[in-house]
Amino acid sequence: MQPPKLKSKVRCTDRDIGQVTKVIMDPLSREVSHIVIGGDGLGQKERQVPISQVQSVTEDAVELRAASSEIAALPPFERDDYVTTHEVEIAHLEASLHHVQPGEVLVPLPVLERDVKRRTFFTNLTHAIGLLIGLPLVYPVLRYLMKPMYAPFDNRWLKIGNVSKIKTEDVGVQFKYKKKVKEAFMPEAEIEKNVWILKATPAVLDKVYQGKDMDFRDSSGKVIWTNKKEVPYVAFSGKCPHLGCGYKWRKHKLLGEVFLCPCHLSIYDASGKVLDGPAPRPLDPLPIQVSATGDVQIIDMEFKAGTKARVRIV
Ligand code: FES
């Protein structure tokens, strides 16, 4: 049987269905393995039909063994699974098909390349090679720029004042301090921060620590300090756990003295417990040490705002 010609009419057992739009060849045997049919009888999509379904081939027509409904039920032809003979060179391939022009013959793409779009495969390959060549040049620059972003937590103790300024138990007292910070790409700067410290009665201490010492950890999860549950001085981060605003110690008409955040009106009692408002968790206790002479030191930590869990970010 002679190979089917392009543009030949295709007839099924029951009716004409379209014409041959492409020829697919097996690059090893150099035989036609499929014909692709398009035409009114198939709608928008072309169909790929195995050569075994071809009953006979004449000068301008191809007769199929199947009915038009069987051909229409075949999966649509996937053009991206094939390359033309413009794109690959296979020796003597077109020599066995005298009636087609170069580019009208298709051969299957290797299976491993089928998940990548035909045209983008070569583009991606070029980019990948460029990246491999350029990486050794840009890596030291990237490492320098990104280093501050991945700096470990700063666990230095900061001296922030003396507890002699606390006159009454269970009353929040604000301690301000300055801290040097280095953000990525920016010069070092000094920022003003604050914590709230109270000398807690045993009842309030019990609410803060729930009968257990409280551990604080570094970025690797290692415990760096433990607040003992019987030490009366408690320090709270100055940032509201809702969205990070600064809060104050205020007198409330119904609740008495409380920590009150003006941004969205979260209210906390002296132990940091949420009494009202949108705050998702109690105030964040910080590591605190008080010396024999009353000097207070804390480790400045910050925690993710808006989450129920206390997740350290600084
Ligand atoms: S930031 Fe404090 S209540 Fe919203």
Ligand 1 pocket at CB < 6 A: 240, 242-245, 261, 263-264, 266, 277-279
Residue of 196, 240, 304 to test ligand 1 pocket, by largest number of atoms within 8 Å of CB: 240
Ligand 1 centroid to 129 CA: how many Å?
50
Same domain, 278 and 295: yes
Cα(52)–Cα(63) distance, integer angstroms:
11
Domain annotation covers residue 138: yes
* 36 shares its domain with 144: no
In terms of domains, do 56 and 140 share one? no
Q: Using CA atoms, how far apart are residues 81 and 175, in angstroms rounded to an integer?
A: 69
Structural domains of the chain, count: 3
Final residue before a domain boundary, out of 149, 168, 197: 149
Nearest atom in ligand 1 to the alpha carbon of residue 277 is: 3
Instruction: Give domain status of residue 283, yes or no.
Output: yes
pLDDT at site 189: 86
pLDDT digits 0-9 by tens, 2-18: 778 888 899 999 999 99
Average pLDDT over residues 209-223: 93
89 and 23 fall within a common domain:
yes
Domain C-terminal end among 59, 88, 114: 114
For 8, 65, 86, the CA distances from 14, given in Å and listed in that order, are 17, 10, 36
Q: What is the b/e burial string over 184-202, where b = at least 16 CB atoms within 10 angstroms of the residue's CB?
A: eeeeeeeeebebbbbbbee
The secondary structure of residue 246, as a DSSP letter, is B
Q: How far is CA 242 from CA 116, 298, 307, in A?
A: 46, 22, 8
Radius of gyration of the chain (CA): 38
Using DSSP, state whether 191 is helix, strand or coil.
strand
pLDDT tens sequence across 93-146: 556 555 555 456 676 665 544 555 555 556 666 676 677 777 677 666 666 555
Please check the confidence at residue 238 and state whether its pLDDT lies above 70: yes
Same domain, 20 and 92: yes
Contact 313, 302 (CB under 8 A): yes
Alpha-carbon distances of 261 from 172, 183, 191, 207, 290, rounded to whole Å: 13, 27, 21, 20, 27
- pLDDT exceeding 90 applies to what percent of the chain? 53
- The answer on 173 and 90 residing in a single domain is no
Mean pLDDT of 164-178: 96
Q: Is 131 in the same domain as 39?
A: no
Residue 141, phi-psi category: left (phi > 0), alpha (psi -120 to 50), beta (remainder): alpha
Distance CA(167)–CA(288), nearest Å, equals: 18
Inside any domain, residue 313: no
Report yes or no on 308 lying in a domain. no
Does 306 reside within a domain? no
The predicted model gives 255-281 an average pLDDT of 94
| Residues 88, 144 within the same domain | no
Shared domain for 142 and 237, answered yes or no, is: no
Q: What is the pLDDT of residues 18-38, one digit of tens each?
A: 999 888 887 667 788 889 998
Quote the pTM value: 0.55
Give the distance (Å) from ligand 1 centre to CA of residue 84.
64
- Decide: helix, strand or coil at residue 131: helix
pLDDT at 113: 45
Domain that holds residue 192: 157-299
pLDDT at residue 149 tops 80: no
| 228 occurs within a structural domain | yes
142 CB burial (10 A radius; 0-12, 13-18, 19+) = exposed
- CATH number of the domain within which 21 lies: 2.30.30
Residue 61 domain-assigned (yes or no): yes
71 is a domain residue: yes
110 and 33 co-located in one domain = yes
CATH number at residue 256: 2.102.10.10
